[in-house]
Amino acid sequence: MSDNQNEPREYDAVLGGQNLIPVNAAVLGGIPGVKSRLASPAVEVRIAALSEAVKYGEAGLDLIIQALGDESMQVKIAAYSLLKDRDDLKSKLPFEDYLPRFGFDVITVDASGKENSRTKSFARFFPEDLGNGIVLEMVYIPGGRFMMGCPENEEGRHDSQSPQHQVTVPAFFASKYPITQVQFQPGGGYNQSSFKGEKRPQETILWHTAVKFCAQLSQQTGKKYRLLSEAEWEYACRGGTTTPFHFGETITPELANYDGNYPYANAPKGLSRRETTDVGSFPPNAFGLYDMHGNVWEWCSDTWHSNYNGAPTDGSSWERDTHNSYRVMRGGSWSSYGLNCRSADRDWFGTHLHCEHWTIGFRVALEYPDPRLLK
């Protein structure tokens, strides 16, 4: 065999694509060639092989479906993007079933704050590598319909939380926690949070700053990160519940970080921590999202409207009045009364105002499905 590195070698002819292919190398074609390239350690080679597999009918379809179980999230996404628009039943596979999952307890309480149920559950997610060992966990939120807003008989109801209306929310991804200080400052630099701690939520955040973070994250990852719409936020917070809180009829300081001196319903007074806490310190909801009640208010993408008359019903962001400088925030904070931490409660803050509040943070969303997910 010649010593010329640019000439074909027998190994390349059989396993073409497992290494860089020399000029003029013979690459095994057909399904055998696709299979060989799908065994490559190079993610780019495996993705290219999937695109070729489409040409080979049922045999190629089988290989694409198998690739949904690939160890690389990037390959999973490439496979799903090839399957999602097919009409044949065989390809109608739920991509989310191929995501890693985590387990947790879902807790509910009665109106006095006494625990009345605890069930095991799990959620799917994917880890976004931000570099330097920092990971952003994005949780899959299944699509569905819900009644957005506040029932007329709910304690704490305000006109801005009505009229109740049905909204259909497509599936999306939401960050497991509010964005933390270490996620917000991956390269170091000035941390403007009042309560310092890597695992504490980034707070004292302007709306434009949160939007800028999403843009930078999108540029870094090649995905389209953004703030949650208000409808997405409430849907994600409720986690399939219709009660004032995803915990049930009330919350307690053992379940969330708020001002326990001002309880809700029949719950007794409790601890007021007067500062943020590490994200994930309290039980999550049924979707696997933490800190949806209390800790920090969370910015949404929508402009503020005084009620829901004319609100969109498809889960999209309501930005009809683009000159409106007031944006929605949700969830309450460590300094909020219990009633302001309800799933239906909403408030606003001006984008033109200097944010001296130690109470405002945010979490991020990602569309689903998105072929650019881990591109």
Are 262 and 270 within 8 A, CB to CB? Answer: no
Q: What is the mean pLDDT of residues 63-92?
A: 79
Q: Identify whether the C-beta of residue 282 lies closer than 8 Å to the C-beta of residue 256.
A: yes
**H helices of the chain, where?**
10-15, 30-38, 43-53, 57-67, 73-83, 181-184, 207-221, 230-238
Q: How far apart are the C-alpha atoms of 73 and 75, rounded to whole Å?
A: 5
Bond prior to 163 in cis (omega within 30° of 0):
yes
Residue with more model confidence, 21 or 341: 341
> Which tokens is 203 given?
């707070």
Pairing type for strands 360-361 and 297-303 reads parallel
Mean of all residue pLDDT scores within the chain: 87
| In the predicted structure, residue 36 carries a pLDDT above the cut 50 | yes
pLDDT of 375 = 36
- Edge to edge, the sheet with strand 326-330 lists 346-350, 326-330, 297-303, 360-361
| CB neighbours of residue 104 within 10 Å | 17
The H-or-E segment that residue 326 falls in is strand 326-330
DSSP calls for 145-189: EEEES--TTSTT--GGG-S-EEEEE--EEEESSSPBHHHH-TT--
Per-residue pLDDT band for 355 (boundaries 50, 70, 90) equals low
Please give the C-alpha separations between residue 338 and each of 2, 216, 270, in angstroms, as whole numbers: 78, 34, 11
SS3 at position 35: helix
Name the nearest CA neighbour of 334 among 293, 303, 369, 302.
Answer: 293
pLDDT(14) > 80: no
Contact at 8 Å (CB) between 332 and 294? yes
Question: What are the tens digits of pLDDT across the range 166-192?
Answer: 999 999 999 999 999 999 987 666 788
- What does the pLDDT average to over 257-277? 97
With pLDDT > 90 as the criterion, what percentage of the chain qualifies?
66
Identify which has the larger pLDDT, 16 or 102: 102
Q: Are 279 and 180 in contact (CB under 8 A)?
A: yes
Distance (Å, whole) CA 327 – CA 207: 7
What pLDDT score does 5 carry? Answer: 45
Q: Minimum mean pLDDT among 42-46, 145-149, 348-352: which range? A: 348-352
Across the range 115-126, mean pLDDT stands at: 96
State the Cα–Cα distance between residues 230 and 234, nearest whole angstrom: 6
Distance of alpha carbon 225 from alpha carbon 189, whole angstroms: 22
- Cβ contacts of 276-281, under 8 Å, gap ≥ 24: 276/193, 276/195, 276/197, 276/200, 276/201, 276/203, 276/334, 276/358, 277/200, 277/334, 278/197, 278/199, 278/200, 279/177, 279/178, 279/180, 279/199, 279/200, 279/201, 280/176, 280/177, 280/199, 281/257
Task: Give percent of the chain with pLDDT exceeding 70.
Answer: 85
